[in-house]
Structure 1
């Protein structure tokens, strides 16, 4: 069962599979998420999920058991 992923603020929606890396989903959608270390340490790739939780997208995947997910990219002026 695919998950509908909506990227904000660009308002781009794409279907993804549970377990698919978030950076790959964003790339397929034409969305650029800044990265640094690719290990979750530098937090350059932080995104907000469903206005609740902040995660590092470089070490995160589409969670199972969801029909939709909203990912809000915010810009960090230090990156």
Structure 2
């Protein structure tokens, strides 16, 4: 099971491949803002360690990695 780390709080949790990132975050007490829950509004954007920006509401834990780091954005509008 991959280990997911949420920055800036440095909270880590193990997750199943394919598990929804919003569910993983919720399970470990990390709040990711959401809006539309369809990837259109971009309220739930997170940044992967390689700089790729993804919408957490439509993304699952990817296969092939033992550790994944997600940097959460702080947007006062959401």
- TM interval, shorter chain, is over 0.9
The aligned counterpart of 1:3 is: 2
Task: State the distance in 1 between where 2:19 and 2:41 align.
Answer: 22
In angstroms, what is the RMSD of aligned CA positions? 0.8
What secondary structure, in the 3-state scheme, does the structure 1 residue paired with 2:25 have? helix
The aligned counterpart of 2:35 is: 36
Task: State the distance in 2 between where 1:51 and 1:44 align.
Answer: 20
- Offset at 1:59? 0.1
- Offset at 1:51? 4.2
Task: State the distance in 1 between where 2:77 and 2:31 align.
Answer: 17
Instruction: State how many pairs are aligned.
Output: 78
User: What is the TM-score with the length of structure 1 in the denominator?
Assistant: 0.95
What secondary structure, in the 3-state scheme, does the structure 2 residue paired with 1:70 have? strand
The aligned counterpart of 1:55 is: 54
Structure 1 runs (4+) greater than 3 angstroms displaced: none
- Offset at 1:74? 1.0
- Offset at 1:20? 0.2
* Structure 1 unmatched ranges of 5 or more: none
Task: State the distance in 2 between where 1:52 and 1:33 align.
Answer: 18
